[in-house]
Structure formats: structure tokens, C-alpha cells
């Protein structure tokens, strides 16, 4: 019975987080929302949790700031006379996602035994996604099924010659930067989970390795998350033998790589050495480094007028692509609404971490580690904002952070306002 209940939790979170395409209902997040409504309607404890969360200032602040940014986005486009509503439309989707997350969490709360259970389930969700990617790589028949639930345009990009057919293997709407950023975030939370629960066993290290392999299928950004996870490990305070654990992780991962590679057929070994690895560590023919970094450097090599820095240009997209073909989140938000608009998005993002002072911690180390994690996550997502838009707008990452926030409120503080 417990296994069935836990499996259902993983399925619900999977549909919420990855929001893959479905017939008629359009999106799996909408489907899981409908399921959650039914659960909450017929299950009084779940309804009580929803009521309790809906009254919390943390939730209200996030929702009100959403509305504020949405209105300001509309006013900016009107002020400039561009009437570009693509930025504000994006916030409508994020607003709906937060509401759905609230309902889904309320419906699964009864299955959570402590504050670490939610992180465990999110980890399992990404483990399942990682296995889907691996199977999709190995089985064209399985991949053809997965393609039916992907966004058509993203799926087409993933099958292009640029990616050699090793991208867009996930059962998800987001297949590239947004997904890889979320994977990196989960690696940070996975490290936290193992440290908090003292569970650096072979099973968890193997699962950590499986999630890390996603860098081959969704992007090198996962490696940045891995680096920040190790940074959290270094500065974590607790009664653990860090050197022994680090050696164990390195030895385990090295042996796992060698054993798994030698178990593969010759064709698969050739696929990895001649396609997967060159694509992951792809360098431009000019010898100027990875193609994505070279492209990003070219994008950012232009001047912005003082007027644009202060007020923006009121454009977020033009002709179906980002204004001035810029990927960087900092530039996108400045070009749309100026430096104040960029800062507003950061203020909204900071609200996701602004509840720690109301929580009860069992020790000084727990309090220190909580703020350490908040700083690590904030720096990680702010760093990714250089390459793409993540601060205040990375859907999957914002879902995870919101779930983590309301989970802490319920488990670490009673009567929190």
C-alpha cells in the first residue's frame, strides 16, 4: 500500500514538474490539477492543508508580486507603444503553475512524513526522467512514443544535425536550457538530502550519478549545478567525514563509468565516443571554445544606449524570436523594461527565500545550512541568468523552489504567518 501511494506521489509530481503534452487536456500539469481538485474535494485533511497554505503571507506575497509584475509588464509595453504582450503572457503561465503547485502539494502532503520526504520524491522524479532519456537514446521505438508528448517545435530542434539526435529525449515540455537548469538545481537538493539524512550509501551515490548523466542529454548546464552542489558540500556544517565521502563518491563514479561503458555493445561504445561526448564537449571549428559559449559571447558583444538601460525598449520578442536574438536573461529583461524591471524580477525571486527568519531550527548548524543552501541556490540561478532567463521565470525551477518553500513552512514552523 505504501509503495502504491509513493508511486502515485512520484507520478503526480512528474506530471506537474515536466508539464508534457497530452491530447485534449493539452498539458499534464492541467491533468494533475484536475486530479488534485478531486482529491482535495473528497479528502478533508488535504482541503485543510490547502486552506492553511492559502492564508500564509509567503504564498500571498508570491501571488501578489506575480500580479504586480504582470501589470507592470503590460504598462511597459503600452508606455513604449510596442504592445508586446509576450512577456506578460509568460507570467500568466507561471502564475497558473504556482496555483497548480499549491493544489498538488496539498493533495500529496498526507504522504510526507518529514521535511526531507518532498526532496526525496523530487529526486525520484528526476531519476525517472533520466532513465527515460537513456532508454530513448538506446531505443528509437521508445523515443518515437516520447516524441508524441513533446512540443513539436522543440522536438524538431532536438533532432537537428546540431544536436546529433542526443537531445530532446525527455518526457517534458522544456527540453533544453530550462530543463538542464532544473537538473542542476536538483543535484544541489540531492546533495542537501544526503547530508541532512547522512545517507551517502551506494544506492544514493548511484542515483546521483544517474541524474548527473543528464548533462549528456539536456545540456552542459547540469555540470554547473554539480559544481554548486559540491560547493554546498564543502561549506556544509555537520558531523560527517567529508574526505571519506568525497573519495567514496569519486571512486564509485569512476568504477561505475568504466563498468557500464565496458558492458555496452561496440555500437553503443562508438555512439558515446563519436557522438555523445563530442556533442557534450563540443568546440567550434575556430578553436574558440564550446559553440554555445562562443554564440553567447557574440550575442553580448553589443552596446546598449543609456535610455534603454533605464527604460528598456518595450520589446520581448520580435518576429517569433527574442528581441535582438538575445538569450541572456539580464539583457532580455533590461531590453524589455530597463534596469528597474530587472531589479523587480530579482526582488520577486528573493521572496522565494524570504521566510527563513520565521522558521524553527533544531540547532545552529541546521540554521546555518538552511541559509547556506538558500545562498547557493540564489547564486546558482543568478549565474544561469547570464546564459538564459532563469531569475523569476524558470518554470521548472520555480515549481521546485515553491514546493520546497511551502514544505518548510509546514514542517519547520507551526502557526507561521
Task: Tell me which residue of 205, 197, 303 sits closest to 254, measured CA to CA.
Answer: 205
pLDDT of residue 192: 94
Which of 143-152, 206-215, 235-244, 314-323 has the lowest average pLDDT? 235-244
Average confidence score pLDDT of the chain: 83
Mean pLDDT across the stretch 86-100?
84
Is the pLDDT reported for residue 388 higher than 60? yes
Extract the C-alpha cell encoding 402: 515553491
**pLDDT confidence bin for 357, thresholds 50/70/90:** confident
Task: Name the percent of the chain lying above pLDDT 90.
Answer: 38
Is the pLDDT reported for residue 374 higher than 80? yes
**pLDDT confidence bin for 271, thresholds 50/70/90:** low
Task: Give the model confidence (pLDDT) of 148-195 as tens digits.
Answer: 888 776 666 655 545 556 677 899 988 888 999 999 999 999 999 999
Task: Give the model confidence (pLDDT) of 111-132 as tens digits.
Answer: 998 899 999 999 999 999 999 9
What is the pTM for the complete model shown? Answer: 0.88
pLDDT of residue 2: 73
Task: Give the model confidence (pLDDT) of 220-266 as tens digits.
Answer: 889 899 999 999 998 898 766 666 677 767 777 777 667 656 655 56
**pLDDT confidence bin for 303, thresholds 50/70/90:** confident
Amino acid at each position: 500500500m505504501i509503495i502504491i501511494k509513493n508511486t502515485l506521489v512520484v507520478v503526480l509530481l512528474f506530471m506537474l514538474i515536466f508539464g508534457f503534452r497530452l491530447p485534449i487536456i493539452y498539458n499534464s500539469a492541467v491533468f494533475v490539477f484536475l486530479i488534485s481538485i478531486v482529491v482535495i474535494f473528497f479528502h478533508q485533511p488535504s482541503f485543510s492543508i490547502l486552506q492553511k497554505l492559502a492564508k500564509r503571507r509567503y504564498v500571498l506575497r508570491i501571488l501578489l508580486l506575480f500580479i504586480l509584475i504582470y501589470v507592470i509588464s503590460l504598462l511597459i509595453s503600452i508606455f513604449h507603444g510596442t504592445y508586446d504582450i509576450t512577456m506578460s503572457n509568460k507570467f500568466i503561465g507561471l502564475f497558473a503553475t504556482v496555483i497548480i503547485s499549491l493544489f498538488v502539494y496539498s493533495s500529496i502532503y498526507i504522504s510526507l512524513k518529514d521535511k526531507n520526504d518532498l526532496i526525496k520524491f523530487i529526486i525520484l522524479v528526476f531519476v525517472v526522467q533520466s532513465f527515460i532519456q537513456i532508454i530513448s537514446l538506446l531505443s528509437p521505438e521508445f523515443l518515437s512514443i516520447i516524441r508524441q508528448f513533446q512540443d513539436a517545435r522543440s522536438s524538431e530542434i532536438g533532432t537537428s544535425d546540431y544536436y546529433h539526435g542526443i537531445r530532446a529525449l525527455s518526457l517534458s515540455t522544456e527540453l533544453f536550457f530550462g530543463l538542464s537548469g532544473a537538473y542542476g538545481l536538483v543535484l544541489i537538493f540531492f546533495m542537501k538530502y544526503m547530508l541532512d539524512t547522512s545517507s551517502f550509501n551506494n544506492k544514493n551515490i548511484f542515483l546521483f550519478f544517474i541524474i548527473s548523466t543528464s548533462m549528456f542529454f539536456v545540456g552542459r548546464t547540469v555540470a554547473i549545478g554539480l559544481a554548486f552542489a559540491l560547493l554546498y558540500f564543502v561549506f556544509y556544517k555537520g558531523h560527517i567525514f567529508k574526505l571519506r565521502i568525497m573519495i567514496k563518491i569519486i571512486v564509485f563514479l569512476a568504477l561505475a563509468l568504466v563498468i557500464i561503458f565496458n558492458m555496452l555493445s561496440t555500437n553503443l561504445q562508438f555512439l558515446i565516443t563519436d557522438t555523445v561526448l563530442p556533442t557534450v564537449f563540443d568546440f567550434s571549428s575556430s578553436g574558440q571554445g564550446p559553440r554555445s559559449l562562443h554564440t553567447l559571447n557574440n550575442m553580448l558583444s553589443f552596446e546598449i544606449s543609456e535610455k534603454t538601460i533605464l527604460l528598456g525598449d518595450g520589446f520581448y520578442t520580435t518576429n517569433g524570436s527574442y528581441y535582438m536574438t538575445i538569450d541572456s536573461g539580464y539583457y532580455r529583461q533590461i531590453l524589455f523594461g530597463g534596469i528597474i524591471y530587472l531589479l523587480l524580477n530579482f526582488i520577486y525571486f528573493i521572496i522565494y527565500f524570504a521566510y527563513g527568519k520565521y522558521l524553527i531550527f533544531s540547532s545552529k548548524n541546521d540554521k546555518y545550512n538552511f541559509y547556506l543552501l538558500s545562498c547557493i541556490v540564489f547564486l546558482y540561478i543568478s549565474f544561469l541568468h547570464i546564459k538564459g532567463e532563469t531569475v523569476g521565470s524558470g518554470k521548472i525551477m520555480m515549481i521546485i523552489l515553491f514546493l520546497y518553500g511551502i514544505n518548510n513552512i509546514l514542517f519547520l514552523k507551526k502557526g507561521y504567518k
